[in-house]
């Protein structure tokens, strides 16, 4: 944790210790990392030249395309069992259909990021339509979360569907103070495979990378199925989970969030 805090200090990103977990044998969340679009507008080595300042064996868990209650609830249960906090990039349409699940994700301490309204290929549509997808998605997520359809996100995190973006779209989000998340490694859970194959794939990739932002999809049944075993793998192999929050989020509000 000291190494992680030192890295954060160098890059101007705030780092705080996470709250205590009641289960002493749980994986837990080792620290909270506050991410600011001014200093870190885009992260994730799969898409960008820079990523979050993580120490060796530190991971950030992210989930796309939810909420999907049958599987998202299983993912949340696995995370709660290990006192682990993650970031969920929600599709606005799904959030509007399942507001109770959006509230549950936030209530259990996870960060809620945005993933457009309907998950289009953003690099293949005009900028005005792309802007509408961004704003409608944020508004739907905020409506589900807080009852107000604002286009100003309470969590300034965004991830492009398929990791496709134009420079104009990236510039737009940066101008609005929204951090664009890529990923450092994928579970590739959009491909047909068994849960066992997914677990083997993602653990091998993590062992090779040593750290990073990991991309999962909580609507995928195979991902929900492996989450307890994956978190156990992290615990047994000395990995530490880092929870990302927007800049300006205090420890107290992060806990309440």
The count of other CB atoms within 10 Å of the CB of residue 164 is 13
Residue 171 annotated among the catalytic residues of the structure: no
Residue 217 annotated among the catalytic residues of the structure: yes
Query: Can you spell out the DSSP letters for 145-182?
Result: HHS---SS-SS-EE--GGG---HHHHHHHHHTT-EEE-
Instruction: Please return the burial class of 64, using the count of CB atoms within 10 Å of its CB with bins 0-12, 13-18 and 19+.
Output: buried
Token readout for 61 is 């868990």
Q: How remote is the C-alpha of 160 from its chain's centroid?
A: 12
Catalytic: which of 68, 119, 217, 243?
217
Token readout for 25 is 């044998």
**Residues involved in catalysis:** 64, 217
């Amino acid at each position: 944790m000291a190494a992680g805090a030192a890295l954060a200090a160098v890059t101007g990103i705030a780092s705080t210790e996470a709250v205590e977990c009641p289960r002493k044998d749980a994986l837990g969340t080792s620290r909270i990392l506050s991410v600011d679009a001014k200093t870190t507008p885009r992260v994730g080595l799969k898409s960008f030249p820079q990523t979050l300042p993580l120490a060796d064996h530190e991971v950030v868990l992210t989930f796309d395309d939810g909420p999907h209650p049958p599987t998202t609830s299983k993912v949340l249960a696995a995370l709660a069992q290990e006192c682990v906090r993650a970031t969920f990039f929600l599709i606005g349409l799904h959030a509007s259909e399942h507001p109770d699940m959006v509230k549950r994700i936030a209530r259990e301490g996870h960060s809620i990021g945005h993933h457009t309204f309907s998950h289009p290929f953003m690099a293949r549509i005009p900028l005005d339509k792309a802007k509408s997808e961004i704003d409608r998605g944020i508004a739907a997520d905020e409506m589900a979360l807080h009852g107000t359809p604002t286009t100003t996100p309470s969590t300034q995190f965004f991830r492009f569907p398929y990791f496709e973006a134009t420079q104009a779209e990236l510039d737009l989000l940066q101008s609005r103070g929204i951090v664009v998340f890529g990923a450092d490694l994928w579970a590739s859970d959009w491909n047909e495979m068994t849960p066992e194959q997914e677990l083997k794939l993602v653990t091998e990739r993590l062992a090779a990378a040593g750290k990073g932002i990991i991309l999962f999809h909580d609507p995928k049944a195979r991902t929900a199925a492996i989450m307890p075993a994956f978190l156990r793998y992290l615990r047994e192999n000395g990995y530490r989970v880092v929870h990302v929050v927007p800049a300006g989020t205090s420890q107290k509000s992060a806990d309440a969030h």
